[in-house]
Structure 1
């Protein structure tokens, strides 16, 4: 019975080949194409299939490959390759693919099989000719796409440098071609980047862009390299954006800026996207979230509602998560305005179970703002814990509630209890140090921060917090400067650490340097605390009009900022 079933299955494969040669019943009548397969060949293929499925796949391979050579049938060549693959015989697969290519020299599929098998066998140098053929056989309109796909083909090659050199050799002619050059240089750049040659990749991006400033490939390549360590990449991206860029590339650049905490620049790019492509929902969502962070509530609300309006075009989990983020932000806006019923209504719209913790955190915040702290804490504590991360999120949320309500002792004790259970958690120890500072326990704060530094020497927040604390109290200024400079080594360009360094310089009497640093930090991040410091330094230098203007701007964006309010009160400033 099993043999009959196998025979039937093999026959079905052969009959399928015949069926593929017959026109569909509803197709226009055309003369039939005679099959090259006679009865003897039919039997040979049938026997080959039986052997391939049985105990002698080698014999089956030989029979099928011989039938392919006799008929010139590409489906039989492909079947021979498949049998060899199933038998884990790379050499046999290559033999069949090369025979196929020899019989059908214009077949891109045959050539592609040869190329992919050679790469799988790690015979890198043998891929030069089939790679050239792959490009040559492609239609002119598809050639750039074929060139762009090369890095993916060679992604598993062990010797990345040799692969990069080989591809560059094959692309020698397209590299100088005005039409194909940008794609070719982009591919060369990606190969160099995979080989660890960032300098070479940057040069490739520049040369590709020189051939066509509006080409996307060089800009995308440069975008992958935008980093403080490779400042040469960003001008390539910016030059592309000066033209009529793809909104997706501008969005990618905005994400890079967000990752680098360059929020004003990111916001500028997001506004450009929503102006150029107003139907791009994601840009409205990120823009709205950023504007909430900057306390620009009317603009944030408009952007988030626009996202909600456009979200109908998004499908699946992406839509659920995006809507949850939008509703959370809209609830936060309503909460800031003390419109608690509206805030709760926005939270009620969240359907994603994954965002339950965030939604309940916001509900708890609303309760706390209404003076119902016990209810707020119970709401957080009653959240389910599906994994260890949920327990940590609940702790963070409860501490935030207490901190915002200025219940520093309760927050400190809550964190201390968690630290007692896990004393190696440096993030918790750092949070405990910050609460100790709020309680005026400067010695305890310093001890905890030094504990963090000892456990994790690259924890830049601890260096910055300790250095700023010394500067703010106008003590141990040389040590404060060393600590903050150490923090900047680990997080170069961070606007808040730059602000700390400026405050040290101010305390040391270097006011001009303090203004320079604060201007740099405030331009990068117009935060109310940075504005408070910049205004105070300017005020001390007699630049009172500019100081007042900066303070007014800060009050509009974040009137509740503690450092700002303390500064204005101490200097007896009435805006």
Structure 2
């Protein structure tokens, strides 16, 4: 749908009534000759298309070199000229009246549009609405007129009046374009304050299309998005299911289901999987569903499932670049270096062919990944050669971080840190980025004390950044300073009472050390209250319940957390609870899954070593 010009200022401001006098002739005469010429050109073209004036017969089929006269006559020219001169002279109300009157006489859509634009420029929403409604009444088949009317009503917050206009727009849209129009409805109503009223209007307007096979899936999807705008996830899920049932191969309900998955509604996942199975992945929407689903699987560390989706997508659409980049990144995480190299080479070839800005950004990511592959192969010269290809200034820091990692792997940590410190600070955020990069480098090489010190320097320079204070606290624990960690986290809680990570970290640390368990539980429960859908916080709660001896409750919580987010640390805790309960085979199964996710996870390896288990 067309995007409306923004209506600013008071909606009660009115344009002047039509008048054909000139309030200040002397000022109008002094207007620029160029402005007059521009008005003549614009309205001369408009007048040629005037529907109610017949052109001369000879002009119907002009010959070569023959001049076709405009239908613009002297009175119309004068009226339009006065209108434009008033607008340019600071009298938009008078100019609006001239132009709207001419539009009514000529029944010309260009003149109506100009009247609307003048009213909007004058910040008179009511006058703009009057012009748009005159336009729709005079030219009832104009889709543009109805869209202007709809957008102006929304800008004036008169949502209840939009229903008939929306219904007319849908009815008059061609069957081929109607689904696009339906899809645009949630975005059109996105800025409305009264979401309930907007949803009611949209549901009523889309009612007839819910029973039409060609439009039902799209209509249910738009209704679902209206529910989602109100955070009514159960209702949105029902809409997604109904849309999927109406047309299983349609990508639209699946895209809604993906949005629900991102908000924690795991029951939406079957819709996505079934759509991917029913579709042929031969449209942009199908590709978007498959890619978004693969990303969610990667984010939730379901890497094997993500790889299956990406391999299927690249097999069916080998000429699509982005899936190859995702697949290569995933293969690198799995240490499948030859496969990752092949996927990234395929991506780079396709991206170079595309040659657009998005591909340029993707190429930078591919170069970084190729450098990482070379680094894993101990081919530091090749890694540096890949980094040398990065030219974008915004990506130089990422390249230098990788160079620093190369130096550190060669035993040159002081040189690596100096490299990061020497980077110029082109933007205010570069200073922070440099310190975080140095701290992360030290973390990667388990230099906990030094990382703690660098985070301390970052906090001193950026004291209002909660994330930096939290990271400093985490490094304090790693550096063997639990008392410092507690002081830092309590200070962070005092400064930001809604920072759930701080409650969780302090509670988990106490539980893991088997200290002050009732207090640890209270802290973690506060974190759960602030972030109820976080699987890692649920893991902490399960762990403190286990430490308190509530094994059955711990098992229930940990199983739910692991089901929501398969993670090696959650697997370590869940496996230990199962082991203690005597469910040894199930524990071994969970631990093996955790090792497949991350074989070197410290918590998992520590658990297996402590229990003397080799799964």
The TM-score normalised by the length of structure 2 is: 0.77
Q: Is the 8 A contact 1:295 1:557 kept in 2?
A: no
SS state at 1:226 partner? helix
Q: CA deviation digits over 1:255-280, x for unaligned, max 9? A: 44455565555444434433333333
Q: CA deviation digits over 1:539-572, x for unaligned, max 9? A: 7788888888887887787665555665666677
Tell me which residue corresponds to 1:287: 327
Give 1:197-216 correspondences, 5 Å limit: 197-216=232-251
Tell me which residue corresponds to 1:373: 413
Tell me which residue corresponds to 1:154: 189
Q: CA deviation digits over 1:110-132, x for unaligned, max 9? A: 33344344444444444333333
Give the superposition deviation at 1:395.
2.0
Residues 540 and 304 from structure 1, CA distance in 2 versus in 1: closer, same or farther, beyond 3 angstroms? farther
Tell me which residue corresponds to 2:41: 12
Unmatched segments (≥5 aa) in structure 2: 1-28
CA distance in 1, matches of 2:462, 2:127: 59
SS state at 2:310 partner? helix
Q: Which moved more, 1:200-209 or 1:419-428?
A: 419-428
SS state at 1:411 partner? helix
Q: CA deviation digits over 1:225-272, x for unaligned, max 9? A: 335554444444344333115010222233444555655554444344
Residues 374 and 213 from structure 1, CA distance in 2 versus in 1: closer, same or farther, beyond 3 angstroms? same
CA distance in 2, matches of 1:67, 1:416: 70
Q: Is the 8 A contact 1:36 1:71 kept in 2?
A: no
Q: Is the 8 A contact 2:452 2:475 kept in 1?
A: yes
Q: Which moved more, 1:543-552 or 1:559-568?
A: 543-552
2:222 aligned to 187, 208, 224, which one?
187
Q: CA deviation digits over 1:445-492, x for unaligned, max 9? A: 444444444444454444454455455555555655555555555555
Q: Is the 8 A contact 1:267 1:290 kept in 2?
A: yes
CA distance in 2, matches of 1:502, 1:56: 70
User: Does 2:438 correspond to 1:398?
Assistant: yes
Give 1:167-566 correspondences, 5 Å limit: 167-195=202-230, 197-227=232-262, 230-244=265-279, 246-258=286-298, 265-419=305-459, 426-470=466-510, 472-473=512-513, 487-488=527-528, 490-491=530-531, 561-563=601-603
SS state at 1:204 partner? helix
SS state at 2:319 partner? coil
Residues 115 and 484 from structure 1, CA distance in 2 versus in 1: closer, same or farther, beyond 3 angstroms? closer
CA distance in 2, matches of 1:324, 1:165: 47
Residues 450 and 175 from structure 1, CA distance in 2 versus in 1: closer, same or farther, beyond 3 angstroms? same
Q: CA deviation digits over 1:68-89, x for unaligned, max 9? A: 4444444344444444444444
SS state at 1:171 partner? helix
Q: Which has the higher contact order (CA 8 A, sep 6+)?
A: 2
Residues 511 and 304 from structure 1, CA distance in 2 versus in 1: closer, same or farther, beyond 3 angstroms? farther
Q: Is the 8 A contact 1:11 1:46 kept in 2?
A: yes
Residues 299 and 465 from structure 1, CA distance in 2 versus in 1: closer, same or farther, beyond 3 angstroms? farther
CA distance in 2, matches of 1:552, 1:157: 51
Q: Which moved more, 1:561-570 or 1:350-359?
A: 561-570
CA distance in 2, matches of 1:356, 1:560: 30
Q: CA deviation digits over 1:528-548, x for unaligned, max 9? A: 656666777777788888888
SS state at 1:341 partner? helix
Tell me which residue corresponds to 1:138: 173
Residues 382 and 126 from structure 1, CA distance in 2 versus in 1: closer, same or farther, beyond 3 angstroms? same
SS state at 2:278 partner? coil
Residues 209 and 285 from structure 1, CA distance in 2 versus in 1: closer, same or farther, beyond 3 angstroms? same
CA distance in 2, matches of 1:543, 1:310: 51
Q: Is the 8 A contact 2:240 2:253 kept in 1?
A: yes
Count of residue pairs brought into register by the alignment: 573
Q: Is the 8 A contact 1:14 1:45 kept in 2?
A: yes
Residues 117 and 560 from structure 1, CA distance in 2 versus in 1: closer, same or farther, beyond 3 angstroms? closer
Give the superposition deviation at 1:365.
1.4
Q: Is the 8 A contact 2:300 2:565 kept in 1?
A: no
Tell me which residue corresponds to 1:165: 200
User: Does 2:141 correspond to 1:101?
Assistant: no
Residues 297 and 544 from structure 1, CA distance in 2 versus in 1: closer, same or farther, beyond 3 angstroms? farther
Residues 269 and 462 from structure 1, CA distance in 2 versus in 1: closer, same or farther, beyond 3 angstroms? farther
Q: Is the 8 A contact 1:77 1:97 kept in 2?
A: yes
Residues 510 and 78 from structure 1, CA distance in 2 versus in 1: closer, same or farther, beyond 3 angstroms? closer
Give the superposition deviation at 1:363.
1.0
Residues 383 and 66 from structure 1, CA distance in 2 versus in 1: closer, same or farther, beyond 3 angstroms? closer
CA distance in 1, matches of 2:345, 2:112: 58
Residues 130 and 340 from structure 1, CA distance in 2 versus in 1: closer, same or farther, beyond 3 angstroms? same
Q: CA deviation digits over 1:35-60, x for unaligned, max 9? A: 76555545554555555555765555
CA distance in 2, matches of 1:4, 1:524: 68
Give the superposition deviation at 1:377.
1.3
Q: Is the 8 A contact 2:45 2:70 kept in 1?
A: no
SS state at 1:217 partner? helix
Give the superposition deviation at 1:413.
3.4
Residues 182 and 38 from structure 1, CA distance in 2 versus in 1: closer, same or farther, beyond 3 angstroms? same
Unmatched segments (≥5 aa) in structure 1: none
Q: Is the 8 A contact 2:473 2:484 kept in 1?
A: yes
Q: Is the 8 A contact 2:374 2:383 kept in 1?
A: yes
CA distance in 2, matches of 1:552, 1:55: 76
CA distance in 1, matches of 2:109, 2:252: 35
Q: Which moved more, 1:71-80 or 1:242-251?
A: 71-80
Q: Is the 8 A contact 1:295 1:558 kept in 2?
A: no
Q: Which moved more, 1:489-498 or 1:341-350?
A: 489-498
Q: Is the 8 A contact 2:209 2:219 kept in 1?
A: yes
CA distance in 2, matches of 1:258, 1:438: 27
Q: Is the 8 A contact 1:262 1:524 kept in 2?
A: no
Q: Which moved more, 1:546-555 or 1:425-434?
A: 546-555
Q: Is the 8 A contact 2:301 2:567 kept in 1?
A: no
RMSD over aligned Cα, in angstroms? 4.3
CA distance in 2, matches of 1:548, 1:117: 63
Tell me which residue corresponds to 2:146: 111
